[in-house]
Chains A and B, each alone.
Chain A
Amino acid sequence: MSMRRSAWLRWIALVCLVPGPAPRAAAQDDLTPPRPRGGAALVPSPPVVSRPAQPLDTVPPPAPSDEGGPAPTTAASAPGEETAAGLGTPQQGVARRPRPEPAEAEPWTGPRVELVYSHYVLVDGHGGGQVHAAVFGGYLPLSPLRLGISAEMGVRDYALGQDDALVRATLVAGYQYFGWLPVAPYVAALGSAGIVFGKRFRTPVSHWLGGGGLEVGADVNLVKSLFLGIGLAYLRVAMEGEGFDLYVLRLRVGL
């Protein structure tokens, strides 16, 4: 019970000691201190004179602290004493927070994706058959095994009419050598299947094709996981009961 009373008394004393807001007229008109409570006589006080303005270049240095060194100042504590020329220089007493050192990035060993330009000739028998294709694919660099898959869309020149469209998927399984990094040569077996859409005698036709072959090439790792690569492949594919030799050039960029 006595503790609760003492707490009440402490709270009342705290409320009474907190000064209230200054009278509005006194604050705005004559800058004279407010009349003290209790009817005390008014004591004249010297008028308040503001400090004369000083040019920014002549602002004196901060007063030394008790410890002999310059007083620590910050932009928040003394904004008026900042010189324009000194804005770009570090302030005394303010130490720049050290940046965390970037962690050493480990080489990426996961799946890699690649964009490929592919060129070969799938003859049409009349002097055409040039194929220009874009390939999106990827592979798993499971050292030394290399497993990959890619999807290709391209255009095949037809000498007697409109060009054909070609869609093809390829599976890759082979061996790659990492002893010459950043150059990584490889040799891989290919299995491929696709379909050719075209028009013959103004009639839509489509032909399945499929086959396999071998590819040799090399990747060059540039920065981080970015790499460039080149590959040369030979495939023997069948389409409409005929066998075709495909000599494929593949230019690759990937991550």
Chain B
Amino acid sequence: MRLLLILAVGLAVALCAGCGQPTKRSLWERYDEPGGAYRVYYLRPPWKRIAADGSALELRVDNNPSAFGIDSGLAPKYALFVSVVAGDPAALAAREARRAPGRSETVLFPPSAVRTEAGDSGFGLTVRQDGGEHLYRRFAFLADRGVVVQLLFEAVPVVDDPEIDAMLGMVDVAPGAP
């Protein structure tokens, strides 16, 4: 009887073993643009969706006081604005680099090529506000099959971060297109 019990438990465990490990995509929340223009993954918590209007999406990580329900007036720790734009990714990135000085921003990383895990390519740059809270802004323009998507990360901490890189790398432009 005892041996049968051990065998039964062992069999159950053996059947369950290797049921599957989660992947980074299964651990993160997914948002699909209704028109199929893009797919974005974000980790919730701490990210939360603020608005999804048409092809635009806004995500945010609250600052610490706001996380406890205190309105401190501080900027959110991270924010992501996603939208569908028209144009060439390289030209769009160059335009943002030119506009930066007029917005009292310094270009920290000039436009350079980026590529996502899904194979979408584009250009990105990082700027920093000169005054105030030293807000960092990181642009990425990705294109696939004629669809161009702009992603703008705004952050009080340094935005060139491995977690932001991972989030950007999981973006998929026109995921449903053949």
Provided the pairs A214-B10, A242-B27 are in contact, do residues A160 and B163 lie with their beta carbons within 8 angstroms?
A: yes
A238–B97 CA distance with the chains assembled, in angstroms? 46
A187–B62 CA distance with the chains assembled, in angstroms? 48
Residue A117 at the chain B interface, CB threshold 8 Å: no
Provided the pairs A123-B22, A125-B22, A202-B77 are in contact, do residues A236 and B46 lie with their beta carbons within 8 angstroms?
A: no
Check A203 against B21 for contact (C-beta < 8 Å): no
Residue B4 at the chain A interface, CB threshold 8 Å: no
A160–B77 CA distance with the chains assembled, in angstroms? 17
Instruction: Determine which of B13, B21, B61, B162 lies in contact with A234 in the assembled complex, contact meaning CB atoms within 8 Å.
Output: B13
A160–B165 CA distance with the chains assembled, in angstroms? 9
Give 1 or 0 for each of B99-135: 1 = CB within 8 Å of chain A CB: 0000000000000000000000000000000000000
5 additional A-B pairs beyond A203-B77, A245-B18, beta carbons within 8 Å, are A187-B6, A202-B61, A203-B46, A243-B19, A243-B22
* Least distance between B79 CB and chain A CB atoms (Å): 11
- Closest residue to B17 on the A side, CB-wise? A234
Residue A120 at the chain B interface, CB threshold 8 Å: no
Q: List 27 A-B contacts (CB under 8 A).
A: A124-B24, A124-B27, A125-B24, A125-B25, A160-B163, A161-B161, A161-B162, A175-B6, A187-B10, A200-B45, A201-B77, A201-B78, A203-B62, A203-B67, A203-B77, A213-B13, A214-B13, A234-B13, A234-B17, A236-B16, A236-B19, A240-B27, A242-B26, A243-B20, A245-B18, A245-B19, A245-B21
B contact residues around A187 at 8 Å (CB):
6, 10
Check B46 against A201 for contact (C-beta < 8 Å): yes
Residue B166 at the chain A interface, CB threshold 8 Å: yes
Interface residues of B (CB under 8 A from A): 2, 6, 9-10, 13, 16-28, 43, 45-47, 61-62, 64, 67, 77-78, 157, 161-163, 166
* Least distance between A162 CB and chain B CB atoms (Å): 11
Provided the pairs A125-B23, A203-B77, A240-B27 are in contact, do residues A214 and B9 lie with their beta carbons within 8 angstroms?
A: yes
Interface size class of chain A, counting residues whose CB lies under 8 Å from the partner chain: 20 to 34
Interface residues of A (CB under 8 A from B): 123-126, 159-161, 175, 187, 189, 200-203, 205, 213-214, 234, 236, 240, 242-245
- Closest residue to A121 on the B side, CB-wise? B21
A125–B77 CA distance with the chains assembled, in angstroms? 23
Q: Is the contact region of chain A dominated by helix, strand, or loop, or is it mixed?
A: strand
Provided the pairs A126-B24, A234-B13 are in contact, do residues A201 and B43 lie with their beta carbons within 8 angstroms?
A: yes
A contact residues around B9 at 8 Å (CB):
189, 214
A234–B16 CA distance with the chains assembled, in angstroms? 10
Which 8 pairs, one residue from A and one from B, show the smallest C-beta to C-beta distance? Answer: A125-B24, A203-B46, A242-B22, A160-B162, A214-B13, A125-B27, A160-B163, A201-B61
